[in-house]
Chains A and B, each alone.
Chain A
Amino acid sequence: MDRSKDNIWKEWFIEFYQKDARSLWFYILKVCGDENLADDIFQDAFYKFLKAKPAVLNEGHMRSYLFKIASNLIIDRKRREKVERKALEVQQQDYSDEKRKESQETEILSFMGLDRMFRFLKTKERILLWLTYVEGHTCGEVAEITGSKESSVKVQLFRARKKLAGILKHDKHAGEKRK
């Protein structure tokens, strides 16, 4: 009986993994911005997922659950990293800091590709933007995945959007100046 249950679970997992593993890995990579770290988190996320052995094999729910595990792991790792090397964090933080000199901004932005622009956002902002606009989750679903309130997700998403729009606008200006 248990063996047949295990077989069902394994078959289901194989199908689920083949379908969703790549997009999960890609999500982790884009949010954490480091391939080795993404590989580690990817393994850990599946380990936790398999260990939890969810009873309901609903694909949508399981996908959200897996993204939830991955998001928590990313936030944990980033938090640990932040404590470890707080001094080096300056570059990633406060892009929108108005005190920063225009010349410095132009210099940095002129070398930015799409990837670097996205990395100017904070981890939580990247998570929100990705889950909403790439994975197509509603604010309620994102709130469930990130363990926040729906209202705070809306506010944070709004701020992340503003920040990214600001970065893109600056980059456009920098590009025009270069020309």
Chain B
Amino acid sequence: MRNKTCSFEDKVAASLRRNQIDPEIEKHVAECSACEEVMFIHGWVNQYKRVSWDMEAAEKKLPGPEEMWDRFHFKWRRDKKFAKRALRPLIYSQVFAAAALVVVSGVFVLANLPGLRNFLQSNPVADSFVHPFSQIVKTASSWLPLVLIPMAIVLVSMGFISLIAAFEDRKHRLT
């Protein structure tokens, strides 16, 4: 089934939008059923709008702009607070992950650059910072390949996240 369309429909719709119907279009509409339908529906929908506007919209009491503005800010602040609370466990794990990243990077650098390690060890101030890393490197290299450390960190942080999430959930339920 194929219904009839007309190439003039857009022109008819445009002139209806402008509220200015040219004689040429008027003549065409009189001869074309598709365009006649466009005009008919346009007229009906607008009549419907006029009638219902007077009955419903004109009488409707809407919140004022200031009220809407204040409501938005109140709700927005509340949503932000909720979002912050919901994301709190993630912040803990992010801090933990960042700290783990620093440790792993230090260990990696010291393990792969012995020259740098020796240079830092010659300086007493730098050595006090480097010493713990050196200890980790020594221990790790003696009985575990270095790649396993990040894996262990990931596993520990996953456990940490689930612990925190469980704690937060319990706290939320209690409050």
Contact (Cβ within 8 A) B46 A134: yes
**A37 is an interface residue with CB less than 8 A from chain B:** no
Q: How many inter-chain contacts with C-beta < 8 Å in the A-B complex?
A: 82
Closest Cβ of chain A to B59, distance in Å, is 11
- Asked if A111 lies at the interface with its beta carbon under 8 angstroms from chain B, I say no
B41: chain A residues at CB < 8 Å are 129, 133, 161, 164-165
Most buried by A among B17, B49, B75: B49
Interchain CB contact under 8 A, A51 and B52: no
State the Cβ distance, B133 to closest chain A Cβ, in Å: 44
Interface pair B38/A26, CB less than 8 Å apart: no
From A10, which residue of chain B is reached at the shortest CB distance? Answer: B69
Checking A10, A17, A165 against B37 with a beta-carbon cut-off of 8 angstroms, the contacting residue is A165
Near A by CB (< 8 A), chain B positions 90-124 give none
CB distance A132 to B13 under 8 Å? yes
> CB-CB < 8 A to B3: which residues of A?
158, 162
Binds B, one of A42-50, A54-62, A102-110: A42-50
Classify chain B's interface size. 20 to 34
- Asked if B57 and A46 make an inter-chain contact with CB atoms under 8 angstroms apart, the answer reads no
**Main SS of chain B's interface residues?**
helix
Known A-B contacts A115-B52, A134-B49; A14 and B44 likewise in contact (beta carbons under 8 Å): no
Partner of B17, one of A14, A51, A114, A136: A136
Q: Are A133 and B53 in contact (CB under 8 A)?
A: no
Interface string of A157-171 (1 = CB under 8 A from B): 010011011001000
Partner of A26, one of B17, B47, B56: B56
- State how many angstroms separate the Cβ of B11 from the closest Cβ of chain A: 12
Other-chain contact of B46, A51, A115, A133, A161 (Cβ < 8 Å): A133
Residue of A nearest to B73 (CB): A50
A13 in contact with B65 given A114-B52, A133-B45, A134-B45 (CB within 8 Å): yes
**Chain B CB within 8 A of A149 CB:** no
Cα distance, A165 to B36, chains bound together (Å): 11
Please tell me if B156 contacts chain A, counting CB pairs below 8 Å: no
| B52 and A30 contact, CB distance less than 8 A | yes
| Given A130-B45, A133-B45, A134-B49: A165 and B40 interface contact (C-beta under 8 Å) | yes
Say yes or no: is B62 at the interface (Cβ < 8 Å to chain A): yes
Residue of B nearest to A165 (CB): B37
A50 near B57 with CB under 8 A, answer no
Determine whether B51 belongs to the interface, using a CB cutoff of 8 Å to chain A: yes
Question: What are 8 A-B contacts defined by CB distance under 8 Å?
Answer: A26-B52, A47-B75, A115-B48, A129-B45, A133-B45, A134-B46, A165-B41, A168-B40
Interface residues of B (CB under 8 A from A): 3, 5, 10, 13-14, 16-17, 37-38, 40-42, 44-49, 51-53, 56-57, 60, 62, 65-66, 68-69, 71-72, 75-76
